């Protein structure tokens, strides 16, 4: 075939580079099987360290610079209702030609949602094209798409004009709380962003995204014997249930805003008035201006509960990912990537989603990005997670062509609109 985007012929080296990706299809599949066997849940430092070593080895042929960024400690509310320090891992920066005039930031994550004691630990073939396994789609498969796109791109005459950076975080699945600052910093040094969350099984990509925040509310009352001294106690579970009702009533207080009260714990025995209870909840919102309204409403609810005689109420958490709105530059980028897909016989479409990812962070930093350029798959965050393995070469070729088109000036309208 003759690669042509608009009026620009991309050249023979580009065609040969894409052919190399097809030759690596079996290697990609074998690698994702091996990586899937390594548990790298967000708080499993041993597994994350193993993945870090394997990723550095896999990216070594690119002869790029490598830097590790230790993330700051965070905090979390434990089962006793107390705030404790949470140790975080480190992000991996792999970069080449940072001085180039055209710069792309490619992001992903090494962590999964599956803890070391989760039963889902090994991949299983469901049929000849469907592999079920932890992280095969989200997003160890995505990292391999990124890697193989870069290996192909570096074989072309166009590579010398593009500076690229791969940024892999260890905490995306818990909201990128510690890596958010690194994402914002690196986004400021790039012209476009590409993120490797999985596409839908039919190849559809995500467009606009809702914002998200995770919270914990802790209520403390007073313990008492449920028979002898019931009226001396202050039932934290009852007080918390009132708060939960008020939080749930905030759903649809703004169009598309939802509050999910999800995890509740409190009390020790049926004959004891519970003196502590907590609830973890999540908010999703469509517009940035909805955040102040929500935060004010939650503050009002907690303040009222805290003022009740014999009780205290504490809120922990924040909106960590603003909504990803589609700017003119972002729409132009989406259209340019659709053009690349058509060149490969792929019909790329976009849909809005309530899910969040690093694309939210990049957009908040002003970087136009497309954030579902990984493998085709589905049922992520569950033991039914799967990848359609024919999408490894397909999606790696798409990203390689995106890089070639970016280098050849096909995305210049995006850069002009970004200014």
CATH of the domain at 205: 3.40.630.10
SS3 category, 178: coil
- Provide the 8-state DSSP code for 261: E
Verify that 224 and 203 share a domain, yes or no. Answer: no
Question: Quick one: average pLDDT of 95-112?
Answer: 98
Determine contact, residues 30/136, Cβ cutoff 8 Å: no
Q: Are residues 167 and 68 in the same domain?
A: yes
Q: Is the pLDDT of residue 10 over 70?
A: no
81 within some domain: no
Same domain, 328 and 291: no
**Amino acid 7: pLDDT:** 45
Q: Based on the fold, state whether residues 33 and 149 are members of the same structural domain.
A: yes
- What tokens were used for 95? 């970069």
- Confidence band, pLDDT 50/70/90 cuts, at residue 9: low
User: Could you tell me which residues come within 8 angstroms of residue 307 by beta carbon, excluding any fewer than 6 positions away?
Assistant: none
Percent above pLDDT 70 for the chain? 97
Over its C-alpha atoms, the chain yields an Rg (Å, rounded) of 24
The DSSP string of 29-89 is HHHHHHHHTS--BTT-HHHHHHHHHHHHHHHGGG--EEEEEEPPPEEEE-TTS-EEEE---
Mean pLDDT over residues 105-121, rounded? 97
Do residue 126 and residue 252 come from a single domain? no
Does any domain span residue 80?
no
Query: Residues 134, 50: one domain?
Result: yes
pLDDT one-digit tens code per residue, 280-326:
999 999 999 999 999 999 999 999 999 999 999 999 999 999 999 99
pTM, two decimal places: 0.93
- Cβ partners under 8 Å of residue 411, min gap 6: 192, 332, 333, 336, 405
Measured between alpha carbons, how far is 400 from 404 in angstroms, rounded to an integer? 6
Residue 5 has pLDDT above 90, yes or no: no
Query: What's the CA gap between 239 and 94, in Å, rounded?
Result: 50
Per the structure, the count of domains in the chain is 2
Whether 84 is covered by a domain: the verdict is no
Query: Is residue 190 assigned to a domain?
Result: yes
Say which CATH number the domain at 263 has: 3.30.70.360
Q: What is the DSSP code (8-state) at residue 324?
A: B
Instruction: Tell whether 112 and 258 lie within a shared domain.
Output: no
What are the CA-CA distances from residue 127 to residues 39, 131, 382 (Å)? 23, 7, 19
**Same structural domain, 37 and 131:** yes
The pair of structure tokens assigned to 265 is: 């714990």
In a shared domain, residues 197 and 110: yes
* 129 shares its domain with 244: no
Same domain for 314 and 360, yes or no, is no
The pLDDT confidence band at residue 13, using thresholds 50, 70 and 90, is confident
- Same-domain check for residues 17 and 132: yes
Q: What percent of the chain has pLDDT over 90?
A: 95
Name the residue range of residue 95's domain.
4-74+90-210+323-418
Q: Which residues fall within 8 angstroms of residue 325, CB to CB, at 6 or more apart?
A: 208, 287, 288, 363
C-alpha to C-alpha distance for 111 and 179, rounded to whole angstroms:
12
Asked if pLDDT for residue 2 goes beyond 60, the answer is no
Mean pLDDT of the 117-123 span? 97
Residue 19 in any domain: the answer is yes
- The strands making up 90-96's β-sheet, listed across from edge to edge, are 65-70, 90-96, 162-169, 102-109, 192-195, 369-370
SS3 assignment, position 268 = coil
pLDDT tens column, 248-261 = 999 999 999 999 99
State the pLDDT at residue 141: 98
* Per-residue pLDDT at 240 exceeds 70: yes
């Amino acid at each position: 075939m003759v690669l042509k985007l608009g009026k620009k012929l991309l050249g023979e080296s580009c065609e040969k580079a894409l052919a190399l990706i097809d030759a690596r299809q079996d290697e990609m599949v074998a690698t994702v099987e091996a990586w899937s066997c390594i548990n790298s849940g967000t708080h499993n430092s041993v597994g994350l360290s193993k993945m870090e070593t394997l990723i550095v080895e896999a990216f070594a042929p690119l002869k790029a610079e490598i830097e590790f960024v230790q993330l700051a400690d965070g905090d979390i509310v434990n089962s006793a209702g107390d705030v404790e320090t949470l140790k975080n891992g480190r992000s991996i920066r792999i970069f080449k030609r940072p001085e180039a005039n055209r710069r792309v930031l490619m992001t992903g994550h090494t962590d999964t949602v599956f803890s070391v004691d989760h039963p889902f630990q090994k991949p299983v073939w469901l049929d000849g094209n469907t592999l079920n396994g932890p992280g095969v789609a989200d997003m160890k498969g995505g990292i391999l798409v990124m890697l193989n796109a870069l290996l192909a791109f570096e074989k072309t005459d166009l590579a010398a004009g593009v500076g690229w950076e791969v940024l892999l975080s260890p905490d995306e699945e818990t909201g990128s709380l510690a890596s958010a600052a690194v994402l914002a910093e690196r986004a400021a040094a790039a012209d476009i962003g590409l993120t490797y969350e999985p596409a839908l099984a039919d190849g559809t990509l995500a467009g606009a995204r809702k914002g998200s925040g995770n919270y914990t509310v802790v209520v403390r009352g007073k313990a008492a014997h449920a028979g002898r001294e019931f009226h001396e106690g202050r039932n934290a579970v009852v007080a918390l249930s009132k708060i939960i009702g008020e939080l749930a009533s905030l759903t649809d207080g703004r169009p598309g805003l939802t509050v999910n009260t999800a995890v509740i714990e409190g009390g020790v025995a049926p004959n004891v008035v519970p003196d502590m209870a907590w609830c973890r909840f999540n908010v999703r919102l469509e517009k940035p201006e909805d955040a102040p309204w929500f935060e004010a409403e939650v503050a009002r609810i907690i303040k009222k509960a805290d003022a009740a005689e014999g009780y205290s109420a504490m809120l922990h958490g924040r909106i960590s990912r603003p909504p990803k709105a589609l700017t003119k530059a972002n729409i132009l980028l989406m259209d340019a990537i659709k053009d690349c897909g058509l060149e490969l016989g792929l019909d790329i479409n976009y849909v809005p989603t309530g899910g969040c990812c690093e694309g939210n962070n990049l957009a908040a930093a002003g970087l136009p990005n497309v954030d579902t350029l990984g493998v085709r798959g589905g049922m992520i965050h569950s033991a039914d997670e799967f990848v359609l393995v024919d999408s490894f070469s397909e999606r790696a070729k798409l990203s390689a062509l995106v890089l070639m088109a970016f280098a050849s000036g096909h995305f210049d309208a995006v850069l002009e609109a970004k200014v």
